[in-house]
Amino acid sequence: MIRVDRLHKRFGAVQAVRDLSFEVPPGEILGFLGPNGAGKTTTLRILSGFLPPSSGAAAVAGHDLTQASIQARRATGYLPESFVAPPELRVGEYLRFRAGLKAVPGARRRRRVAEVTEMLGLGPRLRQPFSALSKGFRQRVGLADALLADPPALLLDEPFGGLDPLQRQEFRELLRGLAHDHRKAVLFSSHVLPEVEELADRVLVIDEGRALALGSREELLSRLDQAPRQRLRISGDGAALGRKLPEAFPGLEVLACDGGELLLQLADAGQRGALFRWFACRGEEVLAFHPDTPTLEDLFRVLVAGAPGAPEEAA
C-alpha cells in the first residue's frame, strides 16, 4: 500500500534521506523511529506530496508520487506534527470545507463529516471554533481531516506530541482500529520509544536519513547479542555489596546501582542461582529478583553507535 524504493532527498549539501526502502501493507502499523533530525518528517512530506524526492521511487496505493501525484495524494491522509486550522472557523465548518477540497461528493459531504467526527468523539465540538480546542481535540480534528476522503493510507508525524496519558491511550486505540479493523496502512513517526513499542506492528529504525533496522519488536530484539542481565532489589547497602560482586563472580558487571537496586550483566545465565545464594549467605533479604528484558532503547543505542552500513530487515 505504501512503498518506498531507494529514496534519496538532498537539500544542497545536506543529505536528509539516504537510500531508504520499505513497505507498509494494508492493515499494518509501521512505527518510524529515530531521533530528531533523523529524516522522518522529510520522508513523510515526500510521501504526502509536499516534497519531491531527489532520486528513488515512492508510491501509495499503486500510484507513483512523481508520475501520478494527484492520485497518490488522494489515497493518502496526512497529519503533520503541528496541525493547525483557521482559528475562527468552527470544527464542522472547517471539516466540510476540507471535504470539498478533497472532492468528497456534495451529497455525501455532511454525512462523511458526521461519520468521522462520531468515530473520533468530536460531535460535541462541531460548533466550537478551532481556537477553543485543547491540544488533544486539535489532534483529533487533524486526524478527522486526514480521514475525510477515506484514504487507504495514513501518514502521521509525531501524532502523540502534547497529549496527556489518557489522550495518548485513546489515540492509540483509534489508530489500532483504523489499521486492524478498517485495513488502512498506517505509518507514524516518533522519537519516543515506548509509544513505538506499544503501538507498532513493525518498527523501522532510522538515523541520519538511513534505515538501520526493520522488523517486529521481537525480531529486532533478537538481534541484540547481549549477555543476560539481572535486576534485583535488596534490603541492605547495594553499593557496598555491588563492589564485592565482580570479585565473587568473574565476568559479572554492575551496570547500575541506586540504593538497594542493582542492575547486573552476567557472564552467563547460570550465575543467577548462585547470586541468590550469595546474598542469602550474607544475611541480605532479596526483595526482588528478575531478568532485565532488553528494550528497543538498548537496540537503538547499539545501532546508532555501530558503523554505518546497509539496512537489515529481521528475518
Per-residue pLDDT of the chain (315 residues), as tens digits, is 999 999 999 999 999 999 999 999 999 999 998 888 899 999 999 999 999 999 999 999 999 999 999 999 999 999 998 899 999 999 999 999 999 999 999 889 999 999 999 988 899 999 999 999 988 899 899 999 999 999 999 999 999 877 788 888 888 998 999 999 999 999 999 888 888 888 999 999 999 999 999 999 888 877 765 667 788 888 878 888 888 888 889 888 888 888 888 888 887 877 888 888 888 888 888 888 877 777 777 777 777 766 344 344 543
Q: Do 275 and 168 belong together in one domain?
A: no
| Same domain, yes or no: 126 and 250 | no
Annotate the chain with three-state secondary structure. CEEEEEEEEEECCEEEEEEEEEEECCCCEEEEECCCCCCHHHHHHHHCCCCCCCEEEEEECCEECCCCHHHHHHCEEEECCCCCCCCCCEHHHHHHHHHHHCCCCHHHHHHHHHHHHHHCCCHHHCCCEHHHCCHHHHHHHHHHHHHCCCCCEEEEECCCCCCCHHHHHHHHHHHHHHHHHCCCEEEEEECCHHHHHHHCCEEEEEECCEEEEEECHHHHHCCCCCCCEEEEEECCCHHHHHHHHHHHCCCCEEEEEECCEEEEECCCCCHHHHHHHHHHHCCCCEEEEEECCCCHHHHHHHHHHCCCCCCEECC
* Pair 17, 209: CB distance under 8 Å: yes
Judgement on whether residues 177 and 42 belong to the same structural domain of the protein:
yes
Residues 152 and 178 placed together within one structural domain of the fold: yes
Q: Within this chain, do residues 33 and 134 fall inside the same structural domain, yes or no?
A: yes
Question: Largest alpha-carbon pair distance within the chain?
Answer: 79
My answer on whether 129 and 251 are in the same domain is: no
Note whether 143 and 278 are same-domain residues.
Answer: no
- Domain total for the chain? 2
pLDDT given for residue 310 in this prediction = 39
* pTM for the predicted model, two decimal places: 0.79
Kindly report, residue by residue over 111-155, the tens digit of the pLDDT.
999 999 998 889 999 999 999 998 889 989 999 999 999 999 999
pLDDT tens for residues 178-190?
A: 999 999 999 999 8
**Domain with 249 in it:** 229-282
Do 274 and 233 sit in the same domain of this protein? yes
Check residue 231 and give its pLDDT. 84
Do 180 and 87 belong together in one domain? Answer: yes
